[in-house]
Structures are given as structure tokens and as C-alpha cells.
Amino acid sequence: MKFIIGIGGVTNGGKTTLTNKLMQALPNCCAIHQDDFYKKPDQIEVGEDGFRQWDVITSLEMEAMVNTIKGWQENPVKFARSHGVSLTPKADELDPDNRIHILIVEGFLLYNYMPILDVYDQRYYISIPKDECKRRRSTRTYMVPDPPGLFEGHVWPMYLKHRKEMEYNCQSIEYLDGLKSKEDIYYQVFERIQNRLLKHL
């Protein structure tokens, strides 16, 4: 059985933290991070807002991401081994026969790219308010540092635009409150996944 979970959300909302916690808890679990598919900085266009357009779908090599997801779908065992993920060596209460393979796809524009909209068995989206998002982002160190005014001038406006698009295109998303503790968010999602898997075993 193959099971794909989408974890989308606002920048600095806690997507990677949640993904890492789930990977440790779920059997035969791999992850694909949308951030790994960014184009090189010199390939990112400068928009009308005067900023390099990091927060739009064209800044990402989405075809490569789709192909990576397909690679997992075709052979999750081979995919796991080639990505250094050890498969569950012992019987697991969720998967006593070692038949489940789980993929977590994590990123900020997961539900804005139509070719992969239908691959997810469950879709989650973490939201936090603007002030908290700005505060968290200011404490992060990026490979390409944020220029002054990027958050107000590009990051947040693009988030609002894409969230509206996403809500129009995809209704079956479970929204998570990113202000809750990391543990609470994790347990909420883990329980949902567990219930869904147990129904299919």
C-alpha cells in the first residue's frame, strides 16, 4: 500500500519540523521537500515589485519534483534506499506485515500546481498570522539572505495570492493552527494518518 501525505503551508509555519517528526514515527516513510527544487538564484526573475520572485511556482523545477514523486510511486523501496532511508526493520503496530510505504511531500506551493494536486491521500496546510510569520522569518538564515522589504513587498503578498488560488482549486485540505505547540500539531496529524492507515489494513 502506498500513501502520500501533503504538508503545505506558509513560510516558517513549521512544515519541515512536522515532516521530520512524522518521518521518525511512520513506517517506511520518505520525504520530498519542495525547497530542494528551487532554480539557481541567477535563474529567478525580478518581478514588477522589484524583488527576485522566490515565492512563485516558476522559481521551482516542478517537472523534476513531479518526476521524483513518480519515482517513489513506481518503486518506493528502491527510492528509499537511494535516498538513504532505512526501511522499517521490525514489525510495527501500524504495519505489522511491512506492506505500507509512505511519502510526505512538503512545501509552500504544494496545492497550486495542478499536475500533482490529485496525488495526495491526505492534505494538510499550516497557517500562522502575519506578525508571527514575519517574526519567525527574521530569525532564519537563508542561503540567499532576504533583502530589506522582501517580506512586506513580496513574501506575504504572494502567500495571500497563492492561498486564495489554493482554496479555489482544492477543497479537501485540513488546516492546522501553526500557533499550537509542535507536539500538538504532530499528534493531531499523526492520529489522522494512523486512523486512515488502520482502515486500509
φ/ψ (deg, to 5) at 160? -60, -40
CA distances from 32 to 29, 160, 177 (A): 10, 24, 22
Please report which confidence band the pLDDT of residue 91 belongs to, taking 50, 70 and 90 as the band edges.
very low
pLDDT at 199: 81
pLDDT at residue 75 tops 60? yes
Q: Annotated catalytic sites, by residue?
A: 35
Q: Where would I find the H helices in the chain?
A: 15-25, 62-74, 76-82, 130-138, 150, 156-169, 182-200
**pLDDT tens-digit series, residues 129-173:** 999 999 999 888 777 778 889 999 999 999 999 999 999 988 899
pLDDT at 27: 84
Taking all residues of the chain, what is their mean pLDDT, rounded to a whole number?
90
Distance in angstroms (rounded) separating the CA atoms of residues 45 and 106 = 24
Determine the distance from the C-alpha atom of residue 126 to the mean position of all C-alpha atoms in its chain, rounded to a whole number.
10
- Mean pLDDT of the region 97-109: 88
